[in-house]
């Protein structure tokens, strides 16, 4: 995929996006087949592995990849498939569930900051500090003035990370309301998956429109050139993975990362 | 492989092992071929993935897997190959390099403890608290009375982890002196790998016998039924991976982990 093709998934800072108008079924316009996509994925997987290896060797950049999306939008699956071939030593996935009592007694960025990547590290956030606007707002957990000022705090925080050498990529997995219904029903129909279901998943679904409204705000107000949001059409899993992988490989390639110089000249040395 | 076959790699508590007498080339007695081994690996990889998924769902046990071995013994490669198919969200690899100034200003277990697994987590230590005996002793970084008492502290620490629900498996990757020479020479012969070489790797090699002596002590004094050491013949990479995978799959299967019960009866629910 060309830069121009991928660029359209990026939320341009200052622009106005509306999730209601974005097609979660875009795969239907894809000219290839699922088989072609999976073939391409294999090669993207390998390239991402190479890029991570180089980043790890170079040890001068930090990479942070954020995944957000509704329940059943496929965050776990996307992370698994996109990073399938990356060395497990090289990538760390941080999950941010409901905050613990101790976490709640700190500011909302406290637990997030602790998981931020160091030089040479690639960290993936499965949910993130954005929940501290989203859930908080939709479920009315705190007054508006609290979550409202967090937009600024998040932008400032990410700017600081960027200024200190962190490259940030944020993915919103966009599924349709009908697709979520289908996936939740699938879980219900499969008794082996019942242990995974939380009764709250159904309640959250009733708030769909409020979530979309909140996501619209997040996407419109926190996308920056140095920490862009990408909206990924995610009704088809293989298409979702293909787009994310293409974006990451393209963006990380642009960083022109390199292995460091050897510490000395080792040529001709005979190990005894 | 049968339990009995795998049992021989375990250092029986109270027994006396001597690395000088253990064959790092055991693969030569293997009745299968490399191809058969790789085929078996694929199925072991899948089973390990299943076991991790169940552990993660069950959320009542902590799993800690420790890798130790000389330079070039293949710790990185083994971790990569053995955990290749495990969900990157499900496994965290902690590397313990030379301690930072802040880490050094704490007790030696301080930085280790922070990376210990929680319920449902699988954590891999690439090097570990054992370095605080091994390197310290071989390089004479601290007086004998300091590293000597650490044997007890480590055993006590691991016992505490076990009593609190942590299952511990420790792998020593056993290569021969000649194999290490060959691997280091290979790195020297490949200019693309020079950035990875540390001149100290060659100095460490001069201390080979002192390292073996120290490892012998560690293996003999810190293997317990509840935190056993396994000595893995590691001159051939595919054989090393095959043995480790077999042991892990066998041991984790014994834990009889199960997905939790559903929170309620979801049968017949229609998602709207």
The pLDDT > 90 percentage for chain B reads 90
The packing angle between helices B177-189 and B199-206, to 10°, is 160
CA closest to B265 among chain A residues: A194
Q: Which two tokens stand for residue A272?
A: 């005894």
A267 with B91: Cβ contact below 8 A: no
Q: Does A269 touch chain B (CB under 8 A)?
A: yes
Q: How far is CA B53 from the centre of its chain?
A: 20
Asked if residue B109 belongs to a domain, the reply is yes
CB B226 within 8 A of CB B159: yes
Task: Please enumerate in sequence order all residues whose Cβ is within 8 A of that of A197, keeping only pairs 6 or more positions apart, or say none.
Answer: A187, A188, B262, B263, B266
Q: Could you tell me if residue A263 is inside a domain? A: no
Question: Does the residue A113 lie in any domain?
Answer: yes
Name the residue facing A93 among B88, B95, B271 (closest C-beta): B88
CA distance A13 to chain B (A): 30
Cα torsion through A158, A163, A166, A167, rounded to 10:
80
Ranking A1-5, A54-58, B111-115, B119-123 by mean pLDDT, the lowest is A1-5
Residue B200 has pLDDT above 90, yes or no: no
The average pLDDT across B159-172 equals 98
Tokens of A192: 């082996």
Measured between beta carbons, which residues in chain A are less than 8 angstroms from residue B88?
Answer: 79-80, 83-84, 86, 88, 91, 93, 124
Contact A89 B93 (CB under 8 A): yes
Question: B85: nearest CA in chain A?
Answer: A84
Chain B contact set for A270 (CB, 8 A): 185, 188
- A165 in B contact zone (CB under 8 Å): no
Residues recorded for chain B: 272
Q: Are B86 and B48 in contact (CB under 8 A)?
A: yes
B67 or B29: which carries more pLDDT confidence? Answer: B67
Do B267 and A201 touch, CB atoms closer than 8 A? no
B219 contacts B172 by C-beta, under 8 angstroms = yes
Chain A: residue whose CA lies nearest to B258: A195
With CA atoms as reference, report the closest residue to A91 among B89, B111, B35, B243.
B89
Q: For the stretch B148-171, what's the b/e string if a residue is b when 16 or more beta carbons lie within 10 angstroms of its beta carbon?
A: eebbeebeebbeebbeeebbbbbb
Per CB-CB distance under 8 Å, the chain A contacts of B266 are: 187-188, 194, 197
Task: Answer yes or no: are the C-beta atoms of B169 and B248 closer than 8 Å.
Answer: yes
Across the interface, whether the CB atoms of A188 and B266 are under 8 A apart is answered yes
Model confidence at B199, in pLDDT bands (50, 70, 90)? confident
Tell if the CB–CB gap between A188 and B271 is shorter than 8 Å: yes
Chain A environment of B114 (Cβ under 8 Å): none
Q: Express each pLDDT in B15-46 by its tens digit.
A: 899 999 999 999 998 999 999 999 999 999 99
Q: Is A159 on the interface with B (CB under 8 A)?
A: no
In this prediction, residue A201 carries a pLDDT of 84
Give the Cα separation of A240 and A85 in Å (integer): 17
Rounded distance between C-alpha atoms, residue A212 and residue A215, angstroms: 5
pLDDT single digits (tens) B241-260: 999 999 999 999 999 999 99
| Residue A30 CB burial class (10 angstroms; 0-12, 13-18, ≥19) | middle
- Specify the pLDDT at position A199: 87
User: Under an 8 A CB cutoff, do B83 and A88 touch?
Assistant: yes
pLDDT in tens, B141-152: 999 999 999 999
Whole domain around residue B42: which residue ranges? 3-254
What 3-state DSSP class applies to A176? coil
Local confidence band at B2 (pLDDT 50, 70, 90 cut-offs): confident
B54-71 mean pLDDT: 96
Out of A106-110, B109-113, B202-206, least confident range: B202-206
Average pLDDT over residues B160-186: 97
Distance (Å, whole) CA A100 – CA A162: 28
- What pLDDT band is residue B261 in, cutting at 50, 70 and 90? very high
Number of neighbouring beta carbons within 10 Å of residue B32:
13
Across the interface, whether the CB atoms of B181 and A269 are under 8 A apart is answered no
Answer whether residue B233 is part of any domain. Answer: yes
Which band of pLDDT confidence, cut at 50, 70 and 90, is reported for residue B1?
confident
In a domain, B269, yes or no: no
CA distance A125 to A112: 9
Distance CA B248, CA B84 (A): 14
Per CB-CB distance under 8 Å, the chain B contacts of A48 are none
pLDDT at B9: 97
Task: Answer whether A89 sits within 8 Å of B267, measured CB to CB.
Answer: no
What is the rounded average pLDDT for all residues in chain B? 96
CB-CB under 8 Å, A80 with B269: no
What confidence tens digit (pLDDT) does each residue in B216-237 have? 999 999 999 999 999 999 999 9
Beta-carbon contacts below 8 Å between A and B: 95
Q: Which residue of B has its CA nearest to A195?
A: B262
Q: How many domains is chain B partitioned into structurally?
A: 1
**What is the CATH classification number for the domain harbouring B185?**
3.40.50.300
SS3 label, residue B229:
strand
Whole-complex ipTM = 0.89
Task: Examine residue A50 and state whether it is found in any structural domain, yes or no.
Answer: yes
**Looking at chain B from residue 185 to 214, which residues have their Cβ under 8 Å from any Cβ of chain A?**
185, 188, 191-192, 194-199, 202, 205
Which residues of chain B have a CB within 8 Å of the CB of A80?
87-89
The pLDDT, as a whole number, for residue A36 is: 96
Mean pLDDT by 10 residues, chain A (272 residues): 92 95 95 94 97 96 98 96 93 96 95 97 98 96 96 97 97 98 95 90 92 98 97 98 98 97 91 91
Q: CA dist A182 to A72, A75, A80, A174, A209, Å?
A: 10, 16, 21, 15, 17
């Amino acid at each position: 995929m060309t830069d121009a093709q991928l660029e359209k998934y990026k939320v341009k800072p200052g622009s106005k996006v509306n999730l209601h108008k974005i097609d979660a079924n875009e795969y239907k316009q894809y000219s290839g087949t699922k088989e072609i996509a999976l073939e391409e994925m294999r090669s993207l997987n390998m390239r991402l592995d190479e890029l991570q290896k180089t980043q790890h060797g170079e040890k001068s950049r930090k990479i942070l990849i954020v995944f957000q999306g509704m329940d059943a939008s496929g965050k776990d699956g996307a992370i698994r498939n996109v990073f399938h071939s990356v060395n497990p030593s090289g990538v760390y996935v941080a999950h941010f569930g409901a905050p613990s009592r101790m976490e709640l007694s700190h500011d909302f960025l406290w637990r997030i900051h602790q998981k931020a990547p160091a030089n040479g590290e690639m960290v993936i956030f499965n949910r993130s500090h954005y929940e501290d606007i989203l859930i908080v707002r939709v479920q009315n957990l705190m007054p508006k003035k609290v979550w409202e000022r967090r937009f600024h705090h998040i932008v400032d925080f990410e700017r600081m990370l960027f200024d200190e050498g962190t490259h940030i990529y944020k993915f919103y997995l966009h599924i349709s309301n009908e697709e979520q219904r289908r996936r939740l029903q699938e879980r219900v129909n499969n008794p082996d998956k019942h242990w995974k279901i939380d009764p709250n998943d159904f309640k959250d679904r009733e708030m769909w429109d409020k979530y979309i409204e909140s996501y619209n705000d997040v996407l419109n107000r926190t996308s920056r050139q140095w920490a862009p949001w990408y909206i990924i059409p995610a009704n088809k899993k293989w298409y979702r993975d293909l787009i994310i992988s293409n974006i990451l490989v393209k963006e990380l390639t642009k960083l022109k990362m390199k292995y460091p110089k050897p510490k000395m000249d080792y040529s001709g040395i005979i190990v005894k």
